[in-house]
Amino acid sequence: MVSSKVDAEILAVVKADAYGHGLVPVAKAATAAGAAWLGVALLEEAFILRDHGIQAPIISWLTPPSSDFNRAIESEIDLAVPSILHLKLIEAAGKKVGIRPRVHIEVDTGMTRGGLLNEWQEFLTIIKSAEIEVVGFWSHFARADEPDESANTDQLKIFEQRLEELRGVGVAPKYVHFANSAATLTNPKAHKQIVRLGIAMYGLSPDVKTMGSGSTLGLKPAMKLTAELHLVKDVPVGASVGYGGTAQTSKNTKLGIVSMGYSDGIPRNTSNLAGVFVAGKRAPIIGRVSMDQFVVDLGAESTAKSGDIAIVFGGAGYSIDDWASAANTINYEIVTRIASRVPRIYE
């Protein structure tokens, strides 16, 4: 869907185990579907991709000074340069291994997180003689998920100014990139040569409050989470449920114990606005989420039984956004926190 609407190469962001979906399978699927680049935060993620035979260009952008730059350069991984220190470390590593490093210069345009800021003018005096290959130039939006926010225009203006200053000292990167998922969907001026698709690639809205739901944006969630009902039992009115007795049954009912808990990524602070879909009905959470299980109120007339498969989110019932709202968080956190002990099945 996105590739048909942008005149830029697509970088599939697969950091954080591909937002909880599985690093290697998603990277392979993304490149097979046409993604020209892969993006990761940590070098360890990039190394895993290379170890699994993935040869697509990879950018790693969160590389503390202790990172293994030697291996990164030998593995043909592009590196972000957010400071003069990083530039010197990467350049030295390149000389050590006898390979000219490929880098993407990162500038801080208003996020006040990663990227060159006060060092920029000094950096310009150094970069033109550095023994590196400047492949890219990039920054990151702070409020792209608020499309009408003036800060987006301000950041883009600073970005263009820094790019011209870089070109002014004779450094002309081939690839310029700024757009994250939100900007890719709403801000064509930010597309440049590469767009970085993160949350939207997994079928989720960057912000349901300011941009609408994923379905409104024409996106389809990639993840469906299911769990088995460990036990179904009849419970009388007034029964306390879970640790601390924080909830009581309001009538005679059936409760289902779902074999999944906060160690699997289910938020402990989730309210009864979330739950599961089983036996044709929604069943809201009742009581506190435990480490390996949580309880749902099936209702007295439910036909659910022990061993039934409940849909936690995706498909019918509760959405990922429902779970995020119930836990007072964002959909990014819901999918990225699903633990490694939860099997991933790819269809």
347 lies in some domain: no
- Which of 211, 246, 275 is the endpoint of a domain? 211
Q: What is the CATH number of the domain that holds 107?
A: 3.20.20.10
Domain check: are 19 and 137 in the same one? yes
Residue 344 lies in a domain: no
Contacts with 180 (C-beta within 8 Å, 6 or more apart), sequence order: 140, 141, 144, 196, 198, 206
Mean pLDDT of all residues belonging to the chain: 97
48 with 173, same domain? yes
CA 85 to chain centre: 27
The SS3 of residue 178 is coil
Residue-wise pLDDT for 256-301, tens only, equals 999 999 999 999 999 999 999 999 999 999 999 999 999 999 999 9
Q: What is the predicted pLDDT for the residue at 315? A: 85
150 part of a folded domain? yes
234 closest CA partner among 173, 279, 298: 298
Tell me: the pLDDT tens digits for 205-240?
A: 999 999 999 999 999 999 999 999 999 999 999 999
Q: Which of 211, 235, 257 is at the close of a domain?
A: 211
Indicate the pLDDT class of residue 24, thresholds 50, 70 and 90: very high
For residues 49 and 153, state if they share a domain. yes
In a domain, 1, yes or no: no
Please identify every residue annotated as catalytic. 15, 243
pLDDT band at 1 (very low <50, low <70, confident <90, very high): low
CATH number at residue 269: 2.40.37.10
125, pLDDT greater than 80 = yes
Are both 160 and 238 inside the same structural domain? no
Do 281 and 199 lie in a common domain?
no
Q: How confident is the model at residue 188 (pLDDT cuts 50, 70, 90)?
A: very high
Mean predicted confidence (pLDDT) in 173-201:
98
| Residue 2 resides in a domain | no
Q: Considering only CA atoms, which of 222, 169, 216 is closest in space to residue 197?
A: 222
Quick one: pLDDT band at residue 6, thresholds 50, 70, 90?
confident
Confidence check: pLDDT of 4 > 80: no
Considering the domain architecture, whether residues 175 and 37 belong to the same structural domain is answered as yes
* Span 118-124, average pLDDT: 98
Task: Tell me: do 331 and 238 sit in the same domain.
Answer: yes
Full-model pTM: 0.95
**Are 144 and 183 a contacting pair, CB within 8 Å?**
yes
Quick check: is 53 in a domain?
yes
Quickly state the pLDDT bin for 42 (edges 50, 70, 90).
Answer: very high
* 259 and 189 in a common domain: no
220 in a structural domain: no
Task: Please name the residues in contact with 325: beta carbons below 8 A apart, sequence gap of 6 or more.
Answer: 273, 274
Q: Is residue 4 in some structural domain? A: no
**Whether residues 98 and 192 fall in one domain:** yes
- The count of domains in the chain is 2
Same domain, 159 and 237: no
Which residue in the block uniquely carries the two structure tokens 């849909």?
311
Structure tokens at 332: 């990014």
pLDDT given for residue 217 in this prediction: 95
Q: Count other C-beta atoms under 10 Å from residue 130's C-beta.
A: 18
Q: With contact defined as beta carbons under 8 Å apart, do 344 and 223 qualify?
A: no
Q: Among 181, 211, 241, which residue terminates a domain?
A: 211
Residues 207 and 300 both lie in one domain: no
Residues 86 and 130 in one domain: yes
Q: Could you tell me the residue range of the domain that residue 331 belongs to?
A: 225-336
